[in-house]
Amino acid sequence: MNTQLLLIQVFNGLVNGAFYALLSLGLAVIFGMLRIVNFMHGALYMLGAFAAFALGQLLGLGFWPSLILAPLLVGLLGVVLERGLLSRLYGLEPSYNLLLTFGLTLLTQDLVKQVMLSRFAVSSAPYSPPEVLSGVVNLGFVVFPKYRLFVIALSLVVCLLTWFVIEKTRVGAIIRASTENPVVTRAFGINVSLWVTGVFAVGAALAGLAGVLAAPIYSVEPYMGAELIITTFAVVVIGGMGSILGSVVTGFAVGVLAAVGAAVYPPIANTLVFILMALVLLVRPSGLFGLPEGAR
């Protein structure tokens, strides 16, 4: 393995890292604020990709309108889920949420499969990058698809924006207060449940956004989120449950690690992240960027 090839793989890993970062960011936001382990996150990601495909087929919408519309639709679904189902489980053990969101995942996957087969007659849907981003660009050390560069850039912007809003703005302060101490926050005249719903919707929309971004490079099919969500959970655990900065940094790092692993010794590529997770749990159980439970 020469140095140039290694460098190429590090760079390439940032693309997968971008998806891990966007997804774990959504998971972290939801867990941090609502203490819900949202197992349905992978299905929401898949719905984002499927929505982009369906909007194109049914309304003739291209990539750019879908990039805005599909996450909005997934976010709306998030509102329905949180208000209609999840909110009824607050105060119960976390395992209830897990079971509910896992069950919803199975339902969503099969539903999308049926729709794809019966309405569109495909088991995996075709989707192309927009004209302006198709093709490759020579970066000197590597010839790389333009679209993948766009994915890295957009994901970075979205992650930074989310971090900024939550950590540095008044909106973020309200959200953090609502989750730290809902009773006191209510006393200040703030409608806490409304904010909680909003946070869940934003988390869902982030998954939907990752899905739209994935549609031009991965096969759009009902189970596309199932594999990814497992790695994403590992990312969240490594980064520290609920830590926004942690999930973003770890997301990119794990993407790079997996790509380098695949190039050096392919059989270990998909296992590396779990080895890392086990190590982190042994040495620093609250995650690399997480605070111990008592310190919160």
Contact footprint for other proteins (CB under 8 A):
4-5, 8-9, 12, 15-16, 113, 117, 121-126, 129, 135-136, 142-145, 147-148, 216-219, 221, 223-224, 227-228, 259, 262-263, 266-267, 269-270
Of the pair 41, 148, the CB lying nearest other proteins is at: 148
Shortest spacing between CB 208 and other proteins, in angstroms: 18
Of the pair 149, 190, the CB lying nearest other proteins is at: 149
Of the pair 29, 52, the CB lying nearest other proteins is at: 52
Shortest spacing between CB 19 and other proteins, in angstroms: 9
Q: What Å distances lie between residue 49 and 37, 56, 214, 253, CA to CA? A: 22, 11, 7, 24
CB–CB of 258/91 below 8 Å?
no
Q: Tokens 């190039």 identify what position?
A: 263
Of the pair 82, 221, the CB lying nearest other proteins is at: 221
Shortest spacing between CB 211 and other proteins, in angstroms: 12
Of the pair 78, 216, the CB lying nearest other proteins is at: 216
Shortest spacing between CB 100 and other proteins, in angstroms: 24
Shortest spacing between CB 263 and other proteins, in angstroms: 5
d(CA 36, CA 92): 11
Q: How far is CA 34 from the centre of its chain?
A: 16
Residue 188 CB-half CA count within 13 A: 10
What is the identity of the amino acid at 153?
A
Under 8 Å CB-to-CB from 22, ≥6 apart: which residues?
155, 158, 159, 206, 207, 209, 210, 213, 251
